[in-house]
């Protein structure tokens, strides 16, 4: 009887181990092999294109296989940015007591994949209307917008910046002359520099002088009268084609310092 009981126990344990293994395979929700059944064929091609990292979303820096060293550098950088921000806050409290500091207290962070490598960039949104973008290269975190530079939003028809993860396309819309010129600016990351690739412009007035500057008498016209890429006039078709983009996301921080550091620290500790 004792022998039989131990056999049952051993069998039970073996079953448990197998069950646990089975469960582990499904952690993260992505099965490592995409089985092409008729039903998921119908659902779209995206499911089969996916992961270069099994079970991970390679456009999500929080699950993709980013080296610990790089994450550590970003954790360091975030502390530095936050310290600078606190120093600025303390300075304002001391020297400009009438300033409304409530809007100053809010920096939000996120890691993003702008270009198509496995090194994420850091975007920081300052609630006063700026974004900052940092990039990593060779053991250093660099301000990708240039030293002490930041990009404004919330003014001049510029609602903010968008990007297409891993496609190296960052863009935004802005107005000139109260919307009589509409600009669509495209940026790309070269190494650690996020610079202008080109700007598309739409002219919304009768630009009889061809200088893209409205005269006093010019009125806003809903229908554009001319399209430009940089300084060159282009046909409407080409303009619309260049403006056709899909899969864009907001390039903006969504996490507080505590939230992103907790997330990144957990990531490092997992490995």
Q: Closest approach of Cβ 190 to Ca ion, in Å? A: 11
Residue of 208, 216, 219, 237 that binds Ca ion (CB under 5 A) = 208
Shortest Cβ 101–Ca ion spacing (Å): 34
**Pattern of binders to Ca ion over 172-201, x per CB under 5 A?**
------------------------------
Closer to Ca ion at the Cβ: 88 or 116?
Answer: 116
HSE-CB at 86 with a 13 A cutoff on CA atoms is 7
Residues ≥6 apart with Cβ < 8 Å to 223: 204
Structure tokens belonging to residue 72: 């550590």
Closer of 154 and 247 to Ca ion (Cβ)? 247
Note whether 218 binds Ca ion by CB under 5 A.
Answer: yes
Specify the stretch interacting with Ca ion by CB under 5 A; choose among 16-24, 58-66, 67-75, 206-214: 206-214
* Out of 117, 190, 225, 241, the residue judged to bind Ca ion by CB under 5 A: 117
By CB under 5 A, name the one of 56, 119, 143, 256 that touches Ca ion.
Answer: 119
CA torsion sign, 227 to 228 to 232 to 238?
Answer: negative
Structure tokens at 77: 């950088």
Residue 161: name the closest of 126, 134, 128, 185 by CA: 185
- Distance between CA atoms of residues 225 and 118, nearest Å: 43
Closest approach of Ca ion to the CB of residue 30, in Å: 22
**Least CB distance to Ca ion at residue 26 (A):** 30
Taking CB under 5 A as the rule, which mask of x and - marks residues 86-115 in contact with Ca ion? -----------------------------x
| Residue placing its CB nearer to Ca ion in the complex, 81 or 189 | 189
Task: Report 6-45 residues binding Ca ion (CB under 5 A).
Answer: none
Beta-strand relationship, 107-112 and 130-137 = unpaired
How many angstroms separate the CA atoms of 91 and 42, rounded? 59
CA dist., res. 56 & res. 68, Å (int): 16
Supply 10's token pair: 């051993």
The angle that helices 257-270 and 68-95 make with each other, rounded to 10 degrees, is 160
- What residues line the site for Ca ion (CB under 5 A)? 115, 117, 119, 206, 208, 215, 218
């Amino acid at each position: 009887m004792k022998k039989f009981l131990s056999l049952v126990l051993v069998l039970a344990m073996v079953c448990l181990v197998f069950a646990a293994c089975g469960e582990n395979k499904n952690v993260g929700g992505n099965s490592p092999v995409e089985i092409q059944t008729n039903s998921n064929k119908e659902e779209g091609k995206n499911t089969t294109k996916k992961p270069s990292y099994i079970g991970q979303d390679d456009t999500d820096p929080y699950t993709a296989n980013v080296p610990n060293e790089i994450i550590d550098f970003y954790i360091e950088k975030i502390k530095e940015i936050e310290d600078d921000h606190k120093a600025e806050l303390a300075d304002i409290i001391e020297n400009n007591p009438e300033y409304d500091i409530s809007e100053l207290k809010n920096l939000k962070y996120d890691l993003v994949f702008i270009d198509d490598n496995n090194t994420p960039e850091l975007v920081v949104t300052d609630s006063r209307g700026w974004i900052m973008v940092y990039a990593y290269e060779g053991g250093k975190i660099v301000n990708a917008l240039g030293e002490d530079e930041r990009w404004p939003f919330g003014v001049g028809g510029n609602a903010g910046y968008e990007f297409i993860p891993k496609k190296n396309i960052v863009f935004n819309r802005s107005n000139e002359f109260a919307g009589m010129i509409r600009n669509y600016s495209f940026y790309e990351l070269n190494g650690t520099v996020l610079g202008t690739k080109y700007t598309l412009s739409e002219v919304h007035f009768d630009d009889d002088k061809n200088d893209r500057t409205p005269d006093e008498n010019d009125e806003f016209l809903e229908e554009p009268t001319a399209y430009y890429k940089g300084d060159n006039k282009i046909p409407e078709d080409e303009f619309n084609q260049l403006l056709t983009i899909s899969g864009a996301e907001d390039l903006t921080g969504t996490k507080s310092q505590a939230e992103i550091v907790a997330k990144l620290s957990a990531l490092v500790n997992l490995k």
